């Protein structure tokens, strides 16, 4: 029996609209900014393989779980978890999934908005000809100039937050919907052109080798060069980061997909939609890597340059290609749109919850969430300048890195673990069977084994490994 509930926040008009919106959520800075930079930091090929495994064995099954819970509950993640736990006779404590998701959402939004702000700034850099003919050294100096200035960063961070909340206030459907339909495919085409550029001008052999040559020793160790000597230490960190990235890039583990699932029409098939979304997301991330690493090597840059990686490499390409001024401008505009449609989904669980539970108008809820996330974001802005020093670091990380690490690598996988456990053990087979309505029994059985055992055990092993217990 499909359920009869409808969401008070409106519904997607079709399955295709849901897919588009969710691709909009998934594809964002995580693919184009974060994937290349952490792949660079954690050594390339082996990291990529672990990441792909996490997408397939943990990401896709948990995405199905989030969508099915969302559609069944038809409300914000907090209330969906409360309602379903009650109906299935489980503990109300499962609503912790919803609450921790709201907290993770704040943390993520507070650094996401700052990085999206960089992309905003680069639209103007590119359009004004500021990237024309730049060398690798110029590109680095330009980026360092931007992040070294708290005033500039605050302006862009504020602007992006206002843009996001303006759309959230209007509701997900009337907001960006139409724009995404055109802009996401456009971004995809631009990436293909960038890949073409990398093939012609970049060091394609080293770039691809770096991304796809698998050296498994790197999954368990981190090497840094100190005083001309390479020092390696064993750690589970690359595994943890690869898994965290799988969650981050698919928008999983904090209820964003559950919130979007609440607006899915009853008879739409969840499985096919999920696989399509994950595939699109993965292709975009890989293309971004393939576009960037050949430029990194051809320009003598460091793959492990950190969060500034794409902002220091892409300008070199734009600065030196024919029509690069125009091309660079369009690229950064599209990147901002990709970030925009993602940021909107990050705040949806919190906004939907305030609307339901406090009976606030959407605009009111959006404003309150936006102001909090903006305030928290000031810490991310200062991490690159006034608070970049050692005295403002914890575990060697700036506030920016710390928020990313805590949210992406710890809170999201934990949230995902709980979601898998709730579907498998808290709610049970019957509910999943009804919502997924997979006609091929074998397919359902395979998913059921994965969600019951493989995903939760996989997450648990990576956690144990990362704290040194394995």
Q: Which residues of this protein are in contact with ligand TRP, per CB under 6 A?
A: 25-26, 28-31, 108, 248-249, 251, 254, 256, 342, 345-346, 412
Is the Cβ of residue 26 or residue 373 nearer to ligand TRP in the bound state? 26
Nearer to ligand TRP, 100 or 125 (CB): 100
Answer for the pair 243, 413: CB distance below 8 angstroms, yes or no: yes
**Based on CB atoms, which residue is closest to ligand TRP, 169 or 433?**
169
256 vs 305 by CB, closer to ligand TRP? 256
Cα 204 to Cα 291: distance, rounded to the nearest angstrom:
9
DSSP β-bridge partners for residue 225: 230
Q: Which of 153, 71, 81 is nearest to 120 (CA)?
A: 153
Angle between helices 362-382 and 96-127 (to 10 degrees): 70
When the beta carbons of 276 and 385 are compared against ligand TRP, the nearer one is: 276
Q: What are 229's strand-pairing partners? A: 226
| Residues in Cβ contact with 182 at an 8 Å cutoff, skipping those fewer than 6 apart | none
DSSP 9: T
CB of 346 to ligand TRP, least distance (A): 4
Residue nearest ligand TRP, Cβ-based: 30
CB of residue 85 to ligand TRP, shortest distance in Å? 22
Residue 181 structure tokens? 């339909």
Cα–Cα distance, 378 to 316 (Å, whole number)? 29
CB 142 within 8 A of CB 355: no
Residue with smaller CB distance to ligand TRP, 253 or 426: 253
Residue 107 near residue 254, CB atoms below 8 Å: no
Looking at the Cβ atoms of 134 and 176, the one nearer to ligand TRP is 176
Least distance from ligand TRP to the Cβ atom of residue 21, Å: 11
Tell me how far, at minimum, the Cβ of 100 lies from ligand TRP, in Å: 12
> Minimum distance from CB of 403 to ligand TRP (Å)?
12
Nearest distance, CB of residue 101 and ligand TRP, angstroms:
8
Q: CA–CA separation, 313 vs 290, rounded Å?
A: 12
Q: CA-CA distances (angstroms) from residue 420 to 103, 127, 246, 435?
A: 19, 46, 15, 15
Helices (H) and strands (E) in the chain, counts: 22, 2
* C-beta separation of 221 from 361 below 8 A: no
Minimum Å gap between C-beta 66 and ligand TRP is: 10
Closest distance of CB 122 from ligand TRP, Å: 17
Q: How far is the CB of 192 from ligand TRP (least distance, A)?
A: 19
- Vertex 259 angle, CA 253 and 261, to 5°: 100
Beta carbon nearer to ligand TRP, 113 or 345: 345
> 245 or 325, CB closer to ligand TRP?
245
Distance between CA atoms of residues 433 and 111, nearest Å:
38
Residue nearer to ligand TRP on the CB measure, 249 or 299:
249
From the CB of 411, what's the least distance to ligand TRP, in Å?
A: 9
**Distance between CA atoms of residues 393 and 402, nearest Å:** 9
């Amino acid at each position: 029996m499909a359920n009869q509930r409808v969401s008070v926040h409106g519904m997607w008009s079709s399955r295709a609209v849901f897919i588009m919106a969710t691709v909009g959520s998934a594809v964002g800075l995580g693919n184009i900014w974060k994937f290349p930079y952490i792949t660079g930091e954690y050594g390339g090929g082996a990291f990529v393989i672990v990441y792909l495994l996490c997408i397939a064995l943990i990401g896709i099954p948990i995405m199905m779980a989030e969508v099915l819970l969302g559609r069944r509950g038809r409300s914000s993640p907090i209330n969906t978890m409360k309602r379903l736990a009650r109906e299935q006779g489980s503990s109300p404590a499962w609503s912790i999934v919803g609450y921790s998701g709201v907290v993770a959402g704040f943390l993520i939004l507070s650094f996401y908005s700052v990085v999206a702000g960089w992309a905003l700034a680069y639209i103007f850099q590119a359009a004004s000809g500021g990237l024309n003919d730049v060398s690798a050294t110029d590109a680095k100096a330009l980026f360092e100039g931007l992040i070294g200035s708290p005033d500039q960063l605050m302006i862009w961070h504020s602007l992006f937050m206002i843009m996001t909340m303006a759309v959230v206030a209007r509701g997900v459907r009337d907001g960006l919907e139409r724009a995404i339909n055109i802009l996401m495919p456009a971004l995809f085409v631009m990436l293909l052109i960038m890949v073409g550029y990398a093939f012609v001008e970049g060091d394609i052999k080293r770039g691809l080798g770096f991304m796809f040559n698998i050296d498994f020793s790197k999954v368990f160790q981190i090497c840094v060069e100190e005083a001309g000597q390479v020092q390696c230490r064993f750690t589970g960190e690359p595994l943890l980061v690869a898994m965290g990235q799988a969650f981050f890039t698919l928008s999983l583990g904090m209820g964003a997909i559950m919130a979007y699932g609440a607006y899915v029409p009853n008879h739409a098939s969840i499985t096919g939609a999920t696989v399509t979304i994950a595939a699109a997301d993965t292709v975009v991330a890989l293309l971004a890597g393939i576009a960037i690493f050949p430029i990194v090597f051809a320009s003598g840059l460091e793959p492990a340059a950190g969060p500034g990686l794409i902002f220091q490499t892409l300008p070199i390409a734009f600065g030196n290609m024919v029509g690069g001024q125009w091309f660079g401008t369009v690229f950064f505009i599209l990147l901002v749109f990709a970030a925009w449609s993602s940021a909107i989904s990050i705040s949806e669980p919190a906004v939907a919850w305030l609307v339901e539970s406090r009976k606030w108008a959407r605009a009111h809820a959006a404003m309150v969430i936006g102001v909090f996330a903006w305030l928290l974001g000031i810490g991310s802005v200062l991490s690159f300048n006034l608070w970049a020093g050692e005295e403002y670091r914890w575990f060697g990380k700036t506030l920016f890195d710390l928020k990313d690490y805590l949210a992406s690598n710890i809170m999201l996988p934990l949230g995902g673990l709980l979601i898998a456990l709730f579907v498998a053990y808290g709610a049970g087979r019957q509910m999943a069977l009804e919502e997924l309505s997979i006609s091929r029994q074998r397919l359902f059985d395979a998913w059921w084994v994965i969600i019951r055992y493989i995903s939760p055990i996989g997450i648990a092993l990576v956690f144990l490994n990362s704290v040194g217990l394995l």
